[in-house]
Amino acid sequence: MLLSSRVPRVAGGLRPLTIRGMPQTRMQGRRSLHLAPPFLLDDYTPRYQQLSSVDAALKRSQAYAHLRNCNLCPRECGVNRYETTGMCLIGAETVAVNTIAPHFGEEPCIQHSTQLTLLFQGHNGSGSVFFSGCNLRCAFCQNHDIAHRRSGFDLTPEQLADWYVKLQEVGGVHNINLVTPEHVVPQVALSILAARDLGLRVPIVYNTSAFDSAASLALLDGLVDIYLPDFKVWEASSSRRLLKADDYAAAARESVAAMHRQVGDLCFTGDGVARRGLLVRHLVMPGREAEGARIMRFLAEHVSRDVFVNIMEQYRPDAHVGKPKRRQKGGSGGSSSSKPTEDGNDGEGKDEEEVRYADINRPVSKDEISIVRRAAEEAGIWRFCDPPKHDGFAI
């Protein structure tokens, strides 16, 4: 039974949902919701509200234990963060936060405003908390003021919880969107547990680089509703040079698979806003479309063909990319024999090699984006963050 003769592509040949209890004659001519039933939730209660008090207490004690011997990301520094800091340079008592505000720059299903901006942000936006600091050191970081310079203010988990509730009550946001939280997962866990006692009831979005550890994701199990990992590069040589992490792709593969095991494919309520599941981002990088294609095949073969994917086109040179090369000390005083450092480029003399990371010092091309998209489609992925081609929601 259909509301419209135009049938969107949905999993397993399933048809769009009809409005229960409404005669077909009345439904004809009305707008179809175009919601695929496997991905439609009648209602949704956040996972953290379903935890028993015993499980909540266990999570609290695990959070404190992790801070005393930090293994919360693949760096596995093993430090007691009450006494010192590891590679991320963030301690135990507080988190550094740059911005807390309703945000309208996320995937449509997080925000909810028009059909194009429905996915996360909804009409009222996604309640975003931008954490300062990061456990990666991406040469091209698109948020480097926040991630590398750790600008912001310190908040305790309890103060964070108050902000979540303010975002919900005053901002009317559709979710709490934790941006770059990998290095502060225990504090985040404590804040979610405090906020649940204050009446928080919107989903938690964990917006991550995917450089998470298994221990960290285990701590988040039951607290996070939507995982939003950005799977950046596939090759170890790329992650070593561009992210300063040798084992990034292996960690990202395990993390994304673990996230999917926890929450499954992305699901929506009837208003078109995402409530639970996995949404994978991939920022297409100049000259690295083959790595993007490999990531898409991995997702289809080892995670799910129903995985919701956002192939992002907005890469721009930033942070260290395109900056003048530093010369090694002891060189020949700025002569042409001076050697570049750090970025792995060893050529000299040509104009384009006089800047750092010259190979990614340009926007991505349409061809590069198309190659990644085509690889995803050929692998069987079909749920993309696109404008809808029908009059329903883009799910």
Residues contributing to the site for ligand SF4 (CB under 6 A): 70-73, 75-77, 79, 86-88, 135, 183
Nearer to ligand SF4, 98 or 121 (CB): 98
Nearest by Cα to 135 from 78, 191, 177, 74: 74
Single-letter code of the amino acid located at 111: Q
Give the phi and the psi of residue 158 in degrees, each rounded to 5: -70, -40
* Pair type for strands 153-155 and 95-103: antiparallel
Nearer to ligand SF4, 84 or 337 (CB): 84
Nearer to ligand SF4, 251 or 274 (CB): 251
Nearer to ligand SF4, 76 or 354 (CB): 76
Give the span between the Cα atoms of 77 and 85, in whole angstroms: 9
Tokens of 25: 């004659």
∠ Cα 93 96 100 (to 5°): 125
Contact 264, 277 (CB under 8 A): yes
Angle (deg, nearest 10), helices 53-68 and 185-197: 150
Q: Nearest distance from residue 315's CB to ligand SF4, in Å? A: 25
Residues sharing a CB contact under 8 Å with residue 146, sequence separation 6 or more, in sequence order: 98, 99, 130, 131, 132, 152, 180
Q: Nearest distance from residue 223's CB to ligand SF4, in Å? A: 17
Strands, E assignment, the chain: 40-41, 95-103, 109-111, 119-121, 126-131, 153-155, 176-179, 204-208, 226-229, 267-269, 274-283, 308-312, 383-384
Contact 211, 101 (CB under 8 A): no
Q: Which residue is nearest to ligand SF4 (CB)?
A: 86
Nearer to ligand SF4, 93 or 348 (CB): 93
Indicate the annotated binding residues for [4Fe-4S] cluster. 134, 138, 141
Q: Nearest distance from residue 220's CB to ligand SF4, in Å? A: 13
Q: Nearest distance from residue 368's CB to ligand SF4, in Å? A: 31
Indicate the annotated binding residues. 134, 138, 141
Nearer to ligand SF4, 149 or 166 (CB): 149
Nearest by Cα to 188 from 217, 219, 157: 157
Q: Nearest distance from residue 150's CB to ligand SF4, in Å? A: 12
Nearer to ligand SF4, 73 or 280 (CB): 73
Q: Nearest distance from residue 2's CB to ligand SF4, in Å? A: 50
Tokens of 81: 């963060």
Distance of CA 111 to the CA centre of its chain: 14
Q: Nearest distance from residue 126's CB to ligand SF4, in Å? A: 24
